[in-house]
């Protein structure tokens, strides 16, 4: 029947979680909820050009909705906290503040770095948290290469808290958190998402898992939008192994005084490298730069 109109339901991305932020100073857009939009489309006399325009318009809207949703989920996850996390986060802030304000050099490498290297900063923070009564340790995770991913290792701090009646709580302290997810050729949407991340992350293991899932999903979409290959080191399983793989746990006291493996070699997370780009990013050390815990 010529001229008849047909209603076509278009299902959009949905989220079952609704987050509220009482008292927060963070400016948030409304949560992106699932909905069905009815669009009137003439069944006849429709040109291929208009079909392409509708498809492109739908793609743009879905893309916008996706990134808005990721922003909401990321901020909601970062805003949540517990008394245990707040306590350890405050102790970490105090340790960093004392180190930054101290005139003493804490870098004990054979060739000390002006302002201290990240390895020695990690060790010094661990010592101060132990002195404050926390069960803190330096953790190093290692994994072998596979057909899908290269071998690697990652070092971070961990605090095991037993003050809760629910049992032991694992809190991860990552001193270079934001940089672990930076990409040299990222899109504007991805960079805006990453800008919400703190430089120093202090949070429970389940919170870290949630953040990794959000960020890896965003990285995958970013590479798809730019029509670039997603490196195996950006995939969810690989990234999660950095903090949840097999690890070696040690404390500064278990190492010989002045222990060193020699001159520190420049290192950067493989996540900071983009496809076909092997330039070493700046700021691999903490030289002369104050570290802020958010």
Read off the pLDDT band of 254 (50, 70, 90). Answer: low
Domain boundaries, the chain: 6-79, 83-272
265 pLDDT exceeds 70?
A: no
What global pTM score does this model have?
0.66
Neighbours of 16 (CB within 10 A): 6
Q: What is the pLDDT of residues 39-90, one digit of tens each?
A: 333 444 444 555 555 555 568 888 899 999 999 999 999 999 999 999 999 9
pLDDT for res 101 = 85
The pair of structure tokens assigned to 252 is 């500064």
Question: In whole numbers, what is the pLDDT of the chain averaged over residues?
Answer: 74
What does the pLDDT look like over 170-186, one tens digit per residue? 999 999 999 999 998 89
Q: What is the pLDDT of residue 114?
A: 64
Residue 163 vs residue 26, higher pLDDT: 163
Confidence at residue 55, expressed as pLDDT on a 0 to 100 scale = 52
pLDDT at residue 262 is higher than 60: no
Residue 56 Rama label (left phi>0; alpha psi -120 to 50; beta): alpha
Report which of residues 147 and 210 the model is more confident about.
210
Per the listing, tokens 């950006």 go with 234
Which of 25-34, 76-85, 157-166, 247-256 shows the lowest per-residue confidence on average (mean pLDDT)? Answer: 25-34
For residue 240, pLDDT over 50 is answered with yes
Mean pLDDT score, 105-117:
73
Which residue in this structure is represented by tokens 């490196």? 231
Q: What is the DSSP string of 148-199?
A: SS--EEEEEEEEEE--STT--EEEEEETTTGGGG--TT--HHHHHHHTTS-S
Span 129-139, pLDDT tens digits: 999 999 999 99
233: pLDDT strictly greater than 80: yes
What is Dmax (Cα atoms) for the chain? 88
């Amino acid at each position: 029947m010529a001229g008849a109109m047909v209603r076509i339901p278009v299902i959009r991305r949905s989220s079952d979680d609704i987050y509220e932020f009482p008292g927060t100073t963070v400016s948030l857009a409304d949560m992106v909820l699932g909905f069905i939009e009815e669009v009137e489309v003439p069944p006849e006399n429709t040109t291929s050009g208009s079909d392409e325009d509708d498809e492109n318009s739908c793609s743009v809207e879905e893309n916008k909705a996706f990134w808005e949703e990721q922003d909401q989920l990321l901020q909601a996850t970062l805003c949540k906290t517990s008394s245990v996390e707040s306590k350890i986060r405050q102790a970490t802030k105090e340790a960093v503040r004392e180190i930054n304000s101290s005139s003493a050099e804490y870098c004990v490498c054979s060739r000390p770095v002006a302002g201290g290297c990240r390895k020695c900063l990690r060790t010094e923070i661990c010592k101060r948290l132990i002195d404050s009564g926390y069960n803190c340790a330096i953790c190093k995770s290692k994994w072998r290469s596979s057909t899908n991913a290269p071998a690697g290792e990652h070092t971070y701090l961990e605090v095991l808290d037993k003050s809760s009646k629910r049992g032991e709580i694992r809190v991860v302290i990552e001193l270079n958190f934001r940089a672990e997810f930076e990409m040299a050729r990222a899109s504007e949407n991805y960079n805006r998402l990453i800008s919400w991340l703190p430089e120093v992350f202090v949070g429970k293991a389940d919170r870290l898992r949630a953040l990794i899932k959000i960020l890896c999903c965003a990285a995958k979409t970013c590479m798809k939008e730019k029509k670039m290959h997603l490196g195996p080191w950006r995939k969810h399983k690989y990234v999660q192994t950095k903090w949840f793989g097999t690890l070696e746990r040690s404390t500064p006291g278990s190492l010989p005084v002045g222990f060193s493996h020699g001159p520190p070699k420049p290192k950067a997370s493989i996540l900071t490298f983009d496809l076909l780009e092997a330039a070493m990013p700046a700021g691999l050390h903490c030289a002369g730069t104050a570290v802020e815990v958010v």
